[in-house]
């Protein structure tokens, strides 16, 4: 089976992008990163993509014009799934209507602590368990149908960095897994719910 082409949208470090790239080195992994798009020229993720010989593009600008350029580029490359990975912009409903499916990873157990500084929000709230969520993107902030979640314990002396680091380790497992499920056609959206189907050929 061929690998489906995915695009990754970034604004920063790119460790989740890197985790997906590493997963896709396995010839049995059903997707490969074809294109990386950044809205920030200085995003370290771009350099990481270039090192992997993946086309990494900084697209300047804002608003509909910016989104139009992104859509043109992803169409040119035949991108079938867009993964937001540390991408710090909200995409418009018009963009989402025209784009392929879009996924995001968020460092909390949604619907708790959407938006910025999720790990800090979790610590300040005093929760005992937090984690990460991969979800499909809708026009809200971190509000779309949930694909996968995994929890981690919050230790009472954790600071934001320690918790972020513990969550990041599981993000790097969860995001490639969610992409894999999508690429194997195992995800079915029913309203707010994402059902995970058995892999074809396994009953
Ligand atoms: C991750 O914590 C992700 O959950 C959030 O932004 C951070 C991005 O990190 N959306 P990286 O750029 O993937 O290293």
Task: Read off the DSSP letter of residue 109.
Answer: -
Q: How far apart are CA 202 and CA 65, in angstroms?
A: 45
Q: Which two tokens stand for residue 36?
A: 């990386």
Residue 155 and residue 165: Cα distance in Å, rounded? 13
Look up the CATH number of the domain holding residue 40.
3.40.50.170
Q: Are 92 and 129 in contact (CB under 8 A)?
A: no
Distance from residue 86's CA to the centre of ligand 1 (Å): 4
- Give the residue from 100, 119, 152 where a domain finishes: 100
pTM: 0.96
Domain count, the chain: 2
Which residues does ligand 1 sit against, CB inside 6 Å?
Answer: 12-16, 85-86, 105-107, 168, 171
- Kindly report the protein residue whose alpha carbon is nearest to atom 1 of ligand 1: 86
pLDDT per residue as tens digits for the range 6-49: 999 999 999 999 999 999 999 999 999 999 999 999 999 999 99
- Please identify every residue annotated as catalytic: 106
Domain boundary among 100, 120, 140: 100
Give the percent of the chain with pLDDT over 70: 98
Instruction: Indicate whether 150 and 89 sit together in one domain.
Output: no
Ligand 1: residue of 16, 21, 103, 119 to mutate (most ligand atoms within 8 A of CB) is 16
Q: Give the whole-angstrom CA distance, residue 73 versus residue 123.
A: 39
Q: Is the pLDDT of residue 202 over 60?
A: no
Residue 129 sits in the same domain as residue 53: no
**Parallel, antiparallel or unpaired: strands 31-38 and 4-10:** parallel
- Model confidence pLDDT, tens digit, residues 68-93: 999 999 999 999 999 999 999 999 99
* Contact yes or no for 138/182 (Cβ under 8 A): no
Banded model confidence at residue 97, pLDDT cuts 50, 70, 90: very high
Q: Check whether residue 154 and residue 67 sit in a common domain.
A: no
Tens digit of each residue's pLDDT (9 = 90 or more) over 167-176: 999 999 999 9
Q: For residues 139 and 91, what is the distance between their CA atoms, to the nearest angstrom? A: 7
Residues 73 and 124 in one domain: no
- Do 33 and 7 lie in one domain? The reply is yes
Can you tell me which atom of ligand 1 is nearest the CA of 45? 12
Select from 51, 83, 100 the last residue of a domain: 100
Within the chain, residue ranges assigned H as helices are 15-23, 44-51, 63-76, 93-98, 118-125, 160-183
Query: Quick one: pLDDT at residue 199?
Result: 85
The range of the structural domain enclosing residue 129 comes to: 105-203
Whole-Å CA distances, 6 to 24, 54, 83, 84, 183: 11, 11, 7, 11, 9
> In a mutational test of the pocket of ligand 1, which residue from 15, 150, 166, 173 has the highest number of ligand atoms less than 8 Å from its CB?
15
């Amino acid at each position: 089976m061929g690998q489906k082409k995915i695009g990754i949208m970034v604004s920063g470090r790119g460790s989740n992008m890197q985790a997906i790239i590493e997963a896709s080195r396995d010839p049995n992994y059903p997707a490969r990163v074809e294109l990386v798009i950044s809205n920030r020229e200085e995003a370290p993720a771009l350099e990481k993509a270039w090192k992997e010989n993946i086309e990494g593009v900084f697209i300047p600008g804002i608003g509909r014009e910016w989104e139009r350029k992104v859509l043109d580029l992803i169409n040119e490359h035949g991108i079938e799934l867009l993964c937001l990975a540390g991408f710090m912009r909200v995409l418009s409903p018009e963009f989402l209507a025209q784009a392929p499916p879009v996924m995001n990873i968020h460092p909390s157990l949604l619907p708790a602590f959407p938006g910025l500084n999720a790990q800090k929000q979790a610590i300040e709230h005093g929760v005992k368990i937090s984690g990460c969520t991969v979800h499909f993107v809708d026009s809200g902030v971190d509000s779309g149908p949930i694909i996968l979640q995994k929890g981690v314990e919050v230790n009472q002396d954790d600071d934001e960095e320690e918790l972020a680091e513990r969550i990041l380790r599981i993000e790097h497992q969860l995001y490639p897994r969610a992409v894999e499920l999508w690429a194997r056609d195992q995800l079915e959206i029913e309203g707010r719910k994402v059902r995970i189907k058995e892999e074809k050929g396994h009953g």
